[in-house]
Amino acid sequence: MPKGMIIKALSGYYYVMNDNGIFQCRGRGNFRKRKLTPLVGDEVEFQAENKTDGYVLSILERKNELIRPPIANIDQALLIFSARRPTFSTHLLDRFLVHIEANDILPIICLSKSDLTDSDDEIKEALEAYRQVGYCVLETSSINETGLEAVLEIFENKVTVIAGQSGVGKSTLLNTLNPELKLETNEISDHLGRGKHTTRHVELIPFGEGFVADTPGFSSLDFIDIEWIDLSLYFPEIRERRPSCKFRGCTHTSEPKCAVKAALENDEIAQFRYDHYLHFLQEIKDQKRRY
C-alpha cells in the first residue's frame, strides 16, 4: 500500500505527495462516519490508479495538529510580526506563543520589516526579553534582505507553519526567499492599519529539503481548549520556576513564597510577560464560567 503526505486540501480533494509525484485523492466514506478529517501534513496510506483518481484509505498517527488552521505533524511555527504597519504587539505575540506551546510545536519569532526598528528601543528590549526566555528570534527585512539566510536554514528538513497578523509580510517574505512562488500579497489598509488575508487554503510548499505551510492564519486565538491550571506551562520562564513554589498548584498571583513572583521582583522575568500571563489567566477563568 503506497504512503504519502497530504500537501494540499481543496474542494473535497486531498493532494498526496510521495517519491512518485502528487496524486489527487478523495477521502474514504468511513472517515465521515468515524468523524475523522484528513489534514494537510497527514501521513496517509492511499490507492490510486492514476494521478487524478485516488482514495485516502487511512491516516497514520499524528504527533500534533492544529484546528484553526487545519494542519498536522508540524515541527515548528515561524511567528512573523512586523516592526510597523501593523504595529508590533507583544500581547498578540504572547497569545500566539501560548497556542503554539500548548500544541507541542517549536516556536520561532521573526520580526519582519526590521529596517524600521533602528530607533525603536521598545521593540529591541522586547526582542531581547524573548531571547532571554530561550526563544529563537530572527530579524528580517525584504527591503535590504537582512536575515533571509537564517530563515532559509530553519526550513531545512522541517515542516514549518507560518503564522502572524495579516499584513506583516508573510507572503512577501516567502516570495523573497523563493521568487518562483509568486504568492499573492496585499498592501496594508491605511484605515485599518492591517492587511487582508491573501491565503485562502492550507498548502505545504517544498522549501529545500523541508516544507513551509502557507495558511489562511489563525481564525481564533481564544483559549477555549486551555485550562487555567495549565497556562503557566506555556510560559517557559514560569514553567521552569513552578517546582520551586511553596504551594503545589500555585497560580503565581497572590500565594506566599512564590518563586515566580520572587523572580519578577528580581527582574528575572519581564514585567510585560507576567502581565500577559495574568490577563490570559483571568480570560480563561471567565471563559470557563460562561460555558
Q: Are 203 and 149 in contact (CB under 8 A)?
A: no
How far apart, in whole angstroms, are the C-alpha atoms of residue 54 and residue 46? 7
Which triple of cell numbers denotes residue 194? 492591517
Which triple of cell numbers denotes residue 85? 504597519
- Beta-carbon contacts of 183 under 8 Å, excluding residues fewer than 6 positions away, are 171, 174, 175, 198, 199, 214
Domain boundaries of the chain, sorted by first residue: 3-60, 66-214, 228-290
Average pLDDT over residues 237-245: 97
Question: How much is the pLDDT for 17?
Answer: 96
Strand partners, 146: 141
How far apart, in whole angstroms, are the C-alpha atoms of residue 4 and residue 129? 41
Considering the four listed CATH numbers 3.40.1280.10, 3.90.700.10, 2.10.25.10, 3.40.50.300, the one that applies to the domain covering 66-214 is: 3.40.50.300
How far apart, in whole angstroms, are the C-alpha atoms of residue 243 and residue 102? 19
Question: pLDDT above 70 covers what percent of the chain?
Answer: 87
Which triple of cell numbers denotes residue 186? 496585499
Note the pLDDT tens digit of each residue in 173-182. Answer: 777 777 776 6
Across the chain, what does the average pLDDT equal?
A: 86
Helix (H, G, I), strand (E, B) or coil at 117: coil
Question: How much is the pLDDT for 183?
Answer: 66
Q: Whose grid coordinates read 460555558? A: 291
DSSP 58: E
Select from 66, 148, 69 the least CA-distant residue to 110: 148
ω into 2 cis (within 30 of 0): no
Q: pLDDT band for position 193 (50/70/90)? A: very low
Note the pLDDT tens digit of each residue in 79-115. Answer: 988 887 778 899 999 999 999 999 999 999 998 887 7
Whether pLDDT at 140 is above 80: yes
First-to-last C-alpha distance (Å) of the chain: 45
Average pLDDT over residues 148-176: 81
Q: pLDDT band for position 188 (50/70/90)? A: very low
Select from 88, 36, 85 the least CA-distant residue to 58: 36
Q: Whose grid coordinates read 503545589? A: 248
CB atoms within 10 A of CB 103: 17
pTM score of the predicted model: 0.84
Average pLDDT over residues 252-274: 97
- Beta-carbon contacts of 211 under 8 Å, excluding residues fewer than 6 positions away, are 7, 155, 158, 159, 160, 204, 205
Report in angstroms the alpha-carbon separations of 56 from 47, 66, 134, 203: 7, 20, 40, 17
User: Within a 13 Å sphere around the CA of 219, how many CA atoms are in the beta-carbon half?
Assistant: 11
Question: How much is the pLDDT for 190?
Answer: 37
Q: Are 267 and 274 in contact (CB under 8 A)?
A: no
Question: How much is the pLDDT for 219?
Answer: 53
Average pLDDT over residues 248-272: 96
Considering the four listed CATH numbers 1.10.40.50, 3.40.190.290, 3.90.930.60, 1.10.3720.10, the one that applies to the domain covering 228-290 is: 1.10.40.50
**Phi, psi (deg, nearest 5) at residue 167:** 95, 0
How far apart, in whole angstroms, are the C-alpha atoms of residue 164 and residue 169? 9
Range from 40-54, 118-132, 168-182, 190-204 that averages highest in pLDDT? 40-54
Q: pLDDT band for position 217 (50/70/90)? A: low
CB atoms within 10 A of CB 53: 12
Whether pLDDT at 51 is above 90: yes
DSSP 127-164: HHHHHHHT-EEEE-BTTTTBTHHHHHHHHTT-EEEEE-
Question: How much is the pLDDT for 117?
Answer: 67
Class at the top of the CATH hierarchy for domain 3-60: mainly beta
Q: Are 64 and 159 in contact (CB under 8 A)?
A: no
